[in-house]
Amino acid sequence: MIEIKNLTKIYGKNTEPSVDHINLQVKDGEIFGFLGPNGAGKTTTIKMMVGLLRQTEGNIRFNGMDTLNESLKCKEILSYVPDNPNVYEVMSGMDYLNFIADIFGMDKEFRKEKIEEYADAFAMKEHLNDFIKSYSHGMKQKIVLIGAFIHEPKILILDEPMVGLDPKSAFRLKEMMRSHCDKGNIVFFSTHVLEVAEKICDRVAIINKGKIIAQGTMEELRDADHNADGTLENIFLELTENA
């Protein structure tokens, strides 16, 4: 479970919070979509969750463990894919995946099985021995995603994971996300593709100007918006335009 309480981030002095006392709870087995306009606070929130930024106030817990006080234990059950796949370009794809596997202490046979499984899903088998610097943006995104999945993390945090992916790879990723959560794990991801969020998410939260302005299942969002037939796109546009 992910528990976020009164999470706040303020940059500098006497400025408005980038993230303003947000509260979220994500249950085991859920795909949770984190939505918002550019500059709303999505990436800042995610960076605090994964330990790249320190919050000004509030706390984040993964399976009851505080991300500040028990940061290493939290990272052991976590995988993170940023919105821009910065990878060690002088490595081959296989070198990179083995590097990730070493960090998480993966058994050699198990890592081989998982690398083959996910490389096949993303059509990357023939490119694993190529240097990453020769990869396209989409291929870099795929190698980072493979690295995120191979050690079977309890919590998978993805920031705009489908940017740069071809349609087949995006479809495979959605399947993998669902399969991952069907095992009792969590996927927390941000996206601007609202149709994808509507189709695959168990619940979503919408953030705007650093505040959570709506969260719940699609049915709960429609009820709150008094629009039984509303799409997520319509609800999102109405809420963010009026906020």
pLDDT of 105 reads 94
Smallest Cα–Cα separation from 231: which of 221, 241, 240? Answer: 221
Q: What is the pTM of this model?
A: 0.91
Which one is predicted more confidently, 150 or 164? 150
pLDDT of 134 reads 96
Which one is predicted more confidently, 102 or 16? 102
- Give percent of the chain above pLDDT 70: 97
* Measured distance CA(195)–CA(200) in Å, rounded: 9
pLDDT of 243 reads 56
* Measured distance CA(52)–CA(82) in Å, rounded: 11
* Measured distance CA(98)–CA(93) in Å, rounded: 9
Computed over every residue of the chain, the mean pLDDT equals 92
pLDDT of 242 reads 62
Taking only Cα atoms into account, the Rg of the chain, rounded to an integer number of angstroms, comes to: 18
pLDDT of 5 reads 97
pLDDT of 241 reads 79
Determine whether 16 is exposed, middle or buried from the number of CB atoms within 10 Å of its CB (0-12, 13-18, 19+).
Answer: exposed
Banded model confidence at residue 163, pLDDT cuts 50, 70, 90: confident
| Per-residue pLDDT tens over the stretch 110-152 | 999 999 999 999 999 999 999 999 999 999 999 999 999 999 9
Tell me the average pLDDT across 28-55.
95
